[in-house]
Amino acid sequence: MCGIVGYIGKSQAAPILLDGLSKLEYRGYDSAGMAVYDGTEIKIEKATGRLKVLSELTHDGETMPGTIGIGHTRWATHGEPSDSNAHPHFNTDRTIAVVHNGIIENYLKLRTTLTEKGYQFCSDTDTEVVAHYLDYYYKKYKDPLTAIVKVIHRVEGAYALGIIFADHPDHVYAARNDSPLIVGKGTDGNLIASDVPAVLKYTRDVYFIENGEIAVLTGENIDFYNVDGDPVEKESRHIDWDESAAEKGGYEHFMLKEMYEQPKTVRDTLAPRVKDGQVEIEELGMTEEEIKAVERVHIVACGSAYHTGVTGKYVIEGMARIPVEVDLASEFRYRDPLLNEHDLVIVISQSGETMDSLAALREAKKRGIMTLGIVNVVGSSIAREADKVMYTWAGPEIAVATTKAYSAQLIALYLLAMKFAEVRGTVTKEEIDGMIRDLKRLPAQIELLLNNKERIQKFANRYVAAREIFFIGRGIDYAIAMEGSLKLKEISYIHSEAYAAGELKHGTISLIEDGTLVAAIATQDGLFKKTLSNMVEVKTRGAFVLAVTNEGNTEIEKAADYVIYIPQTNPYFADSLAIVPLQLFAYYVSVGKGCDVDKPRNLAKSVTVE
């Protein structure tokens, strides 16, 4: 989604804005722009396409003098990607510039009212109403803060705003509702940004702006106000990540780097929760009685996080014998779900800002149901609003296609299932001990699989021209198939479907032609024979079968044309291993096709609109 950066201080603003925007490229965008006050007036430069175009246009920012400015990367929602729709947007007098992330839901109504007042629009965006309404209220009240307060009372929907006024060239203003926005307290100036990586070069002390809050920055000070314009006190937070966490560090792509960070991510998510041979999830804050009282779990998430939820269902139901429902967040909130007093709603999200997941969380809270967020981004909306939060310690994930955050989410779910199972007496102490041993082996086993990348690269190169690829599996293997398929389609643009292996013959098998690649995941011993039959079914119809199965399972070679073996582990944890070759496969197909691996077309890292 859109990215916002703002700077005020002693240095030239434009190069800092460009640098910050480059750290937000992962969010997805199709145009970019900057507004800088040059000592006399506000100048705006915009460009459709990559940030590189804006950098070239402004000679890396050099042609835009001035030490106060706002910048934006736009992911088009209202109006096509174009220079006129790109942000920042001006009022008619070009004295107020605005950047915006989110959607102003009542913009049509506001646009009509403003048109009646004589305002003229030069873009198709919802954002331009903010610029003109600011103009209207600023002319009326002669005070920027009052104008902002008035405007945020008029607009409905989600917004993070960065604003500068030519009449007040020593201030940057920011406001938020539902779209993320942070303030960085630097040494030679202060910043606003949509996410922490954009400010890490200048500071690690940040403030998270809450819904309805306004921030007013000068080069030296930062003041906060509530929705009524009354001052509020806020504490800054020190962020542990260093700048290198958000850099490629010698890897060709962030996605490859992040795949290689998976062993560490697994270790970091596991270590603080396994103490003296016991699973301890302190942040859960649930007594044994409360855990025993849980009657049903609802897991709600989007995309890959939803896929970990599907694995979570098998693991929690299997280990702890609690019924689990898994929902896509966009469906959950509108289906009037049946929620009972003793239910637990788990919302899984890397960004912690996905609008559908956030809305689902709010729906559950509104109904008084206990909520748990499994979240990666510290201080994000879901992390702050959930009753309890379990962080996945994956660090910043930049590639749009998630890998390490996915792996960390799986670990969090395994631990939760183990804790619930232990308290509810559905597993023995010996079984838990064995599971802990297996969990601790995962990082080294993932490393082993990553080291096999050349073989997968060679195999992937054969499929860069594929028209479609199928993924099949049963039980947990079906969840893995879904994630393998999503990884492939999002970064290689090859059509792919994931099917529950037993369901294939009820329709989809008609799509199998001579040479169609079918990736069959078969890690679950109890289901192995059944999946093997489904592999034979597709092979008989001409498919080329790639199998991912457990070491030693050579029987698979009867039905597979190409086999990738994963090390032995507890069947509940197989997703953590089987997903690695599928991530590598998707990655190398994408590289082979020359796609933009880290920033695939049409996608955004953090989806803050419905």
CB-nearer residue toward ligand AGP: 64 or 597: 597
Long-range pairs, 555-562, Cβ under 8 A, ≥24: 555/528, 556/522, 556/532, 558/532, 559/532, 559/535, 560/520, 560/535, 562/459
Is 17 among the residues that bind ligand AGP (CB under 6 A)?
Answer: no
Is 303 among the residues that bind ligand AGP (CB under 6 A)?
Answer: yes
In which element (H, E) is residue 224 found?
A: strand 222-225
CB 371 within 8 A of CB 364: yes
Is 304 among the residues that bind ligand AGP (CB under 6 A)?
Answer: yes
User: What is the smallest separation between the CB atom of 400 and ligand AGP, expressed in angstroms?
Assistant: 5
CB-nearer residue toward ligand AGP: 151 or 609: 609
Is 162 among the residues that bind ligand AGP (CB under 6 A)?
Answer: no
User: What is the smallest separation between the CB atom of 354 and ligand AGP, expressed in angstroms?
Assistant: 3
Strands 544-550 and 562-566, sheet pairing:
parallel
Binder of ligand AGP out of 67, 194, 402, 583 (CB under 6 A): 402
Distance (Å, whole) CA 133 – CA 154: 9
Is 262 among the residues that bind ligand AGP (CB under 6 A)?
Answer: no
Q: Name the token pair of 195.
A: 């996410």
CB 259 within 8 A of CB 453: no
Q: What stretches of 303-354 show up as alpha helix (H) in DSSP?
A: 303-320, 329-332
489 has catalytic annotation: no
DSSP 8-state code for residue 586: H
Q: How far is CA 95 from the centre of its chain?
A: 35
Is 397 among the residues that bind ligand AGP (CB under 6 A)?
Answer: no
Catalytic residue among 2, 150, 404, 453: 2
Strands 343-349 and 370-375, sheet pairing:
parallel
User: What is the smallest separation between the CB atom of 518 and ligand AGP, expressed in angstroms?
Assistant: 22
Contacts of residue 455, Cβ cutoff 8 Å, sequence gap at least 6: none
User: What is the smallest separation between the CB atom of 448 and ligand AGP, expressed in angstroms?
Assistant: 23
Stretch that binds ligand AGP, among 22-30, 164-172, 397-405, 446-454 (CB under 6 A): 397-405
The dihedral over CA atoms of 564, 547, 270, 299, expressed in degrees to the nearest 10, equals 160
Is 401 among the residues that bind ligand AGP (CB under 6 A)?
Answer: yes
CB-nearer residue toward ligand AGP: 388 or 440: 388
Sheet containing strand 324-328, edge to edge, reads: 324-328, 296-301, 343-349, 370-375, 388-391
CB-nearer residue toward ligand AGP: 350 or 485: 350
Q: What mask, x for binding ligand AGP by CB under 6 A, covers residues 329 to 368? A: --------------------xxx--x--x-----------
Catalytic residue among 46, 185, 539, 605: 605
2 has catalytic annotation: yes
Is 31 among the residues that bind ligand AGP (CB under 6 A)?
Answer: no
CB-nearer residue toward ligand AGP: 445 or 485: 485
Is 130 among the residues that bind ligand AGP (CB under 6 A)?
Answer: no
| Count of other CB atoms within 10 angstroms of residue 248 | 14
Distances (CA, A) of 285 to 228, 268, 290, 369: 35, 20, 9, 15
φ/ψ (deg, to 5) at 199: -110, -5
Q: What mask, x for binding ligand AGP by CB under 6 A, covers residues 466 to 505? A: ------------------------x---------------
User: What is the smallest separation between the CB atom of 22 and ligand AGP, expressed in angstroms?
Assistant: 20
Number of residues that bind ligand AGP (CB under 6 A): 15
Outline where DSSP puts E strands in 294-446: 296-301, 324-328, 343-349, 370-375, 388-391
User: What is the smallest separation between the CB atom of 406 and ligand AGP, expressed in angstroms?
Assistant: 7
Stretch that binds ligand AGP, among 169-177, 250-258, 263-271, 302-310 (CB under 6 A): 302-310
Binder of ligand AGP out of 95, 407, 531, 606 (CB under 6 A): 606
Q: Which residue's Cβ has the minimum distance to ligand AGP?
A: 303
Is 217 among the residues that bind ligand AGP (CB under 6 A)?
Answer: no
φ/ψ (deg, to 5) at 31: -160, 165
CB 371 within 8 A of CB 361: yes
In the chain, how long is the greatest CA-to-CA distance?
79
CB-nearer residue toward ligand AGP: 55 or 308: 308
Is 583 among the residues that bind ligand AGP (CB under 6 A)?
Answer: no
Binder of ligand AGP out of 305, 472, 501, 522 (CB under 6 A): 305
Q: Give the bridge partners for 326, in sequence order.
A: 299
Is 302 among the residues that bind ligand AGP (CB under 6 A)?
Answer: yes
User: What is the smallest separation between the CB atom of 408 and ligand AGP, expressed in angstroms?
Assistant: 11
Binder of ligand AGP out of 5, 182, 364, 400 (CB under 6 A): 400
The secondary structure of 141-207 as a DSSP string is HS-HHHHHHHHHHH--EEEEEEEEETT-TT-EEEEEEBS--EEEE-SSEEEEESSGGGTTTT-SEEE
Sites for ligand AGP among residues 265-294 (CB under 6 A): none
CB-nearer residue toward ligand AGP: 259 or 291: 259
User: What is the smallest separation between the CB atom of 399 and ligand AGP, expressed in angstroms?
Assistant: 8
Is 308 among the residues that bind ligand AGP (CB under 6 A)?
Answer: no
CB-nearer residue toward ligand AGP: 354 or 492: 354
Distance (Å, whole) CA 218 – CA 220: 5
Contacts of residue 349, Cβ cutoff 8 Å, sequence gap at least 6: 301, 302, 305, 357, 358, 373, 374, 375, 376, 380, 382
Active site residues: 2, 605
Interface residue list for ligand AGP (CB under 6 A) = 302-305, 349-351, 354, 357, 400-402, 490, 606-607
